[in-house]
């Protein structure tokens, strides 16, 4: 999990949502190497995905050159693709930072599966919010 230590040192909590059944979550924790300190949440009905505006991708988005290139890099880097899924592979994700007061600091709803903000972007947004620049 990318630079989660730096975020934890900033006092930032992280939770990861999956559109899966609860029983699948341990498999995801192992597969992605997610630390035990990060709760995994099961949103099987995708009600939270919908409430936060996460998109369903088109085939063009799912199989875009950017996505294929990223998959290729990850596989070459050692990522295993053997994990089976019976879930909707067109469901896109995103990253949302919720401030201490419950207001959104940053919401990024991915345009394709390779599209996500960098950790540096997330950290900068939190620092800006703390300085009152939201």
Residues lying near other proteins in the complex (CB under 8 A) are found at 7, 10-19, 22, 25-26, 28-29, 32, 39-43, 47-55, 67, 70-71, 74, 85, 87, 89, 91-110, 113-114, 122, 126, 129, 134
User: What residues contact residue 71 under an 8 Å CB cut-off, 6+ apart?
Assistant: 81
CA distance 124 to 46: 29
Task: Supply the minimum distance, in Å, between the C-beta of residue 46 and other proteins.
Answer: 10
Q: Which tokens sit at 69?
A: 């290139």
Task: Supply the minimum distance, in Å, between the C-beta of residue 4 and other proteins.
Answer: 9
Q: Pick between residue 59 and residue 100 the one whose CB is nearest to other proteins.
A: 100
Task: Supply the minimum distance, in Å, between the C-beta of residue 124 and other proteins.
Answer: 13
Q: Pick between residue 65 and residue 102 the one whose CB is nearest to other proteins.
A: 102
Q: DSSP per residue over 42-96, as a string? A: E-TT-HHHHHTTPPBPPHHHHT-HHHHHHHHHHHHTT--------S-TTB--EEE
Q: Which tokens sit at 14?
A: 């992280």
- Contact call for residues 119 and 3 (beta carbons, < 8 A): yes
Task: Supply the minimum distance, in Å, between the C-beta of residue 74 and other proteins.
Answer: 8
Q: Pick between residue 5 and residue 129 the one whose CB is nearest to other proteins.
A: 129
């Amino acid at each position: 999990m990318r630079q989660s230590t730096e975020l934890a040192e900033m006092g930032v909590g992280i939770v990861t949502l999956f559109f899966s059944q609860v029983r699948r979550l341990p498999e995801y924790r192992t597969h992605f190497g997610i630390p035990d300190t990060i709760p995994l949440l099961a949103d099987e009905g995708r009600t939270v995905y919908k409430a936060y505006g996460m998109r369903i991708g088109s085939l063009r988005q799912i199989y875009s050159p950017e996505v294929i290139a990223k998959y290729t890099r990850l596989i070459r880097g050692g990522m295993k693709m053997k994990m089976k899924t019976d879930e909707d592979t067109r469901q896109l994700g995103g990253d949302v930072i919720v401030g201490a007061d419950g207001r959104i600091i940053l919401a990024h709803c991915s345009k394709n599966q390779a599209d996500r903000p960098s950790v540096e972007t997330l950290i900068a947004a939190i620092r800006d919010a703390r300085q009152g620049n939201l």
